[in-house]
């Protein structure tokens, strides 16, 4: 083989090396950029000083608000330290698993013709015993459907299954539930429908009216509870969240114009600092628009994921606390907001440990109490937000 061949091989090698070096430089620059972005989130001067040691429940109640948390039966029934902290800090509980169709070790709907209320009953009775309000989550969702659902529910019987589920579950707990997430996460712009609806099994089986139907069935089943539409991705100053806020608002306007018995919007507020810009005024405007429809608003699943934040706990806790306070100080200015629920009380029990873990495998720290049930800067941030909120 001639020298030319060798030259071209050497040239290809050099070109490849150059390309790799270039890519490496771009990646390094990007990492430096994101590290600077993240560091910019931290403000060492923010101290989050809260006055006194009064619980979140009491601070919320002083302003006519409710503070609560999501809990799971296995944790609440076995973890006495968690149970004590829940009783101290919370005015409301919502089951993270037990009132979904099929979640956790002993699901509500084990088969097409049965309901297992044992877990839900334990949770509702626990709340009553400890003088806690209770909210139901969730009656109509595209996730946590039972394994038997796909092969059992069809266009001919879907309405009957929907009606039977809503009526049976709501009448079982009638009069004991502050609010129900009747329909959860029905908007998904990624499904490219002009109405923004998610192509859920319920939409495919019943058409777009499944949402109105679910709320009407719910209103018949328990007239004493607040009926809530619950969704996520409504928080940030990003094109995606702005588009979703518009789509949710259009859905709410349409439901109200049809006379659908809907009482509140649930904003999940699963927050992720770092890449998402937050604009208090845009959130305030959205809440104002929702309230102008005569709807109440609940912050239903708040947590702040720290997977993109530095491992340093002091910096991470300060950034997370800042996100909570900036978000809640804007949200609680809207008097239609009646409750703040965090998706867990202690870092010991966050879904994020399993679903959004940190790359460095450090334990996540998204919630008001640490894994030892000690109050963190997040607790201070929520306490301050309640203290500064206008009275309802």
User: Hey, which residues are catalytic here?
Assistant: 185, 301
Calculate the alpha carbon distances from 98 to 108, 117, 356 in Å: 7, 9, 22
- Which CB sits closer to ligand G3I, 301 or 347? 301
Closest CA to 215 of 267, 172, 163: 163
Q: Does 268 bind ligand G3I (CB under 6 A)?
A: yes
Q: Candidates 38, 50, 103, 339: give the one binding ligand G3I (CB under 6 A).
A: 103
Calculate the alpha carbon distances from 56 to 41, 52, 326, 342 in Å: 25, 11, 17, 11
| H helix count then E strand count, the chain | 14, 9
- Which CB sits closer to ligand G3I, 100 or 263? 100
Q: Does 351 bind ligand G3I (CB under 6 A)?
A: yes
Residues touching ligand G3I, count (CB under 6 A): 15
Candidates 96-104, 123-131, 254-262, 287-295: pick the segment binding ligand G3I (CB under 6 A): 96-104
Contact mark string toward ligand G3I, 282..311, x via CB under 6 A = -------------------x----------
Contact mark string toward ligand G3I, 156..195, x via CB under 6 A = ----------------------------x-----------
- Which CB sits closer to ligand G3I, 218 or 389? 218
Least distance to ligand G3I from the beta carbon of 116, Å?
13
Candidates 48-56, 103-111, 150-158, 215-223: pick the segment binding ligand G3I (CB under 6 A): 103-111
d(CA 276, CA 266): 21
d(CA 279, CA 207): 35
Per DSSP, the three-state class of 234 is: coil
C-beta separation of 238 from 276 below 8 A: yes
Q: Candidates 79, 96, 98, 222: give the one binding ligand G3I (CB under 6 A).
A: 96
Q: Does 100 bind ligand G3I (CB under 6 A)?
A: yes
Output the CA torsion sign for 184, 301, 358, 361: negative
Radius of gyration over alpha carbons of the chain, in Å? 24
Closest CA to 251 of 197, 183, 180: 197
Least distance to ligand G3I from the beta carbon of 339, Å?
16
- Which CB sits closer to ligand G3I, 354 or 360? 354
Which residues inside 105-124 make contact with ligand G3I, applying CB under 6 A?
Answer: 105
Assess whether the previous peptide bond of 226 is cis (omega < 30° from 0): no
Q: Candidates 12, 28, 143, 312: give the one binding ligand G3I (CB under 6 A).
A: 143
Return the exposure string of 152-188: e unless at least 16 CB atoms fall within 10 Å of the residue's CB, then b: ebeeeebbebbbebbeebbeebeebbbbbbbbbbbbb
Q: What is the DSSP string of 114-141?
A: B---HHHHHHHHHHHHTT-EEEEEEEE-
- Which CB sits closer to ligand G3I, 104 or 363? 104
d(CA 4, CA 125): 84
Candidates 35-43, 98-106, 209-217, 257-265: pick the segment binding ligand G3I (CB under 6 A): 98-106
Candidates 14-22, 92-100, 290-298, 330-338: pick the segment binding ligand G3I (CB under 6 A): 92-100
C-beta separation of 104 from 111 below 8 A: no
Q: Does 97 bind ligand G3I (CB under 6 A)?
A: yes
Q: Does 235 bind ligand G3I (CB under 6 A)?
A: no
Q: Write out the residues near ligand G3I by the rule CB under 6 A.
A: 96-97, 100, 102-105, 143-144, 184, 232, 268, 301, 351, 354
């Amino acid at each position: 083989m001639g020298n030319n061949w060798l030259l071209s091989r050497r040239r290809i090698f050099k070109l490849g090396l150059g390309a790799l070096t270039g890519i490496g430089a771009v990646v390094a620059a990007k990492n430096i950029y994101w590290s600077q972005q993240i560091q910019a989130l931290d403000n060492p001067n923010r101290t989050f000083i809260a006055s006194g040691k009064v619980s979140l429940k009491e601070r919320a109640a002083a302003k006519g608000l409710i503070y609560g948390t999501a809990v799971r039966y296995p944790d609440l029934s076995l973890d006495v330290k968690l149970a004590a902290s829940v009783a101290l800090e919370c005015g409301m509980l919502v089951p993270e698993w037990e009132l979904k169709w099929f979640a956790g070790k002993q699901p509500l709907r084990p088969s097409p013709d049965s309901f297992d209320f044992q877990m839900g009953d334990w949770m509702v009775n626990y709340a009553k015993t400890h003088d806690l309000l209770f909210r139901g989550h969730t009656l109509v969702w595209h996730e946590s459907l039972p394994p038997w659902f796909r092969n059992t529910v069809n266009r001919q019987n879907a309405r009957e299954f929907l009606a039977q589920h809503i009526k049976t579950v709501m009448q079982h707990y009638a009069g004991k539930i502050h609010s129900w997430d009747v329909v959860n996460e029905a908007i998904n712009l990624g499904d490219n429908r002009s109405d923004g609806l998610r192509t859920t099994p319920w939409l495919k089986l019943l058409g777009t009216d499944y949402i109105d139907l679910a709320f009407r069935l719910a209103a018949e089943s328990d007239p004493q509870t607040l009926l809530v539409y619950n969704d996520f991705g409504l928080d940030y100053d990003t094109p995606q969240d702005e588009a979703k806020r518009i789509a949710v608002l259009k859905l709410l306007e349409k439901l109200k114009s049809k006379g659908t018995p809907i009482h509140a919007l649930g904003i999940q507020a699963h927050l992720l600092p770092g890449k998402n810009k937050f604009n208090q005024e845009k959130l305030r405007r959205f809440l104002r628009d929702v309230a102008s429809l005569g709807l109440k608003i609940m912050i239903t699943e708040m947590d702040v994921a720290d997977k993109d934040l530095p491992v340093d706990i002091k910096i991470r806790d300060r950034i997370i606390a800042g996100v909570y306070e900036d978000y809640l100080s804007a949200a609680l200015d809207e008097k239609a907001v009646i409750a703040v629920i965090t998706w867990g009380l202690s870092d010991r029990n966050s879904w994020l440990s399993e679903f959004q873990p940190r790359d460095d495998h450090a334990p996540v720290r998204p919630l008001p109490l640490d894994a030892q049930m000690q109050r963190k800067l997040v607790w201070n941030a929520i306490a301050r937000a309640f203290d500064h909120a206008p009275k309802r």
